[in-house]
Amino acid sequence: MAARNPRVRSVAGMQDELPRLDKRTALFLDVDGTLLEIAPSPDAVVVPPGLVTLLAGLQAGLGGALALVSGRSLATLDRLFAPLRLAMAGQHGAELRLRGDLPALTLARDARLDGLVAQARAFAAAHAGLLVEDKGLGLTIHYRQAPHHALAVQAFGARLLDAAGARFELLPVHMGVELKPRAISKRSAVEWFMREPPFRGRVPIVLGDDRTDEDGFAAALALGGRAVRVGCEGPSVATVRIAAPHAVRAWLAAEAGRLG
């Protein structure tokens, strides 16, 4: 899908074109499954050559109105895209940074999380191939290397949510489940950015690939923007889809060339 603005079919049977980027738009990008291919484990992702330079060019071309909105922590995102420091929402909006040179606004870690992580790790130890990721403000149980444990993980996740209480929610993610603070989401993250310069007053464009990104899509659409779902699986409120991360990067490169 290297051609500029390819037409693709949405789940609703409608056709729409990939949006164009200009000085009036604000761009929000998920990372895993959107900018980067999904890897067997979170630590195994590969940042393709040239992507950091491409993002830096887009950031400049959009006057700074580009943000990563990810389930990963800001510390992990900064390591992945070093030396570039971007506006970011980490852990689905539990960490917010308006610019790379500013400190982040961060929720406090819930005191119950240590115990929840310990329970998850004990469960994983009894089910070979599972991986528990303590994100700082939430946790994810991955079954990418053990898909036969999917139902067991989902059932355990429901029990873990009962133990966690009303301040948390459980979301399905790519081959895993994620326990996160209920008060935040990618919708709240996008809305926060859109209240602040240089994002304020622009048209939001959100790209993502899974259930957690649907909240960001809803924010963009409510603000008169666009939502692009990466991949062909799963229902979505997005009106346009793009095949895979390599196609996203090709589209971004074409738009960066136009922005100059």
Catalytic residue positions? Answer: 30
pLDDT band at 208 (very low <50, low <70, confident <90, very high): very high
pLDDT band at 5 (very low <50, low <70, confident <90, very high): very low
Provide the H-helix boundaries in 39-194.
51-61, 74-80, 113-125, 150-164, 186-194
Q: Give the model's pLDDT for residue 239.
A: 87
Residue among 170, 168, 126, 173 at smallest CA distance from 149: 126
CATH of domain 113-181: 3.30.70.1020
Q: Where in the chain is the domain with CATH 3.40.50.1000?
A: 7-107+184-259
> Is 79's pLDDT higher than 90?
yes
- CB of 67 closer than 8 Å to CB of 59: no
- CB of 44 closer than 8 Å to CB of 258: no
CATH of domain 7-107+184-259: 3.40.50.1000
pLDDT band at 209 (very low <50, low <70, confident <90, very high): very high
- pTM reported for the whole predicted model: 0.84
pLDDT band at 8 (very low <50, low <70, confident <90, very high): very low
Q: What is the length of the chain?
A: 260
Rounded average pLDDT over 69-77:
94
pLDDT band at 256 (very low <50, low <70, confident <90, very high): very high
Residue among 199, 222, 258, 181 at smallest CA distance from 19: 258
Strand order in the sheet with 203-208: 105-106, 95-97, 87-90, 66-69, 25-29, 203-208, 226-230, 240-242
> Model confidence over 22-51: pLDDT tens digits?
999 999 999 999 999 998 888 899 999 999
Q: Where in the chain is the domain with CATH 3.30.70.1020?
A: 113-181
> Model confidence over 88-139: pLDDT tens digits?
999 999 999 999 999 999 988 888 999 999 999 999 999 999 999 998 888 9
For residues 100 and 20, give the distance between their C-alpha atoms in angstroms, rounded to a whole number: 25
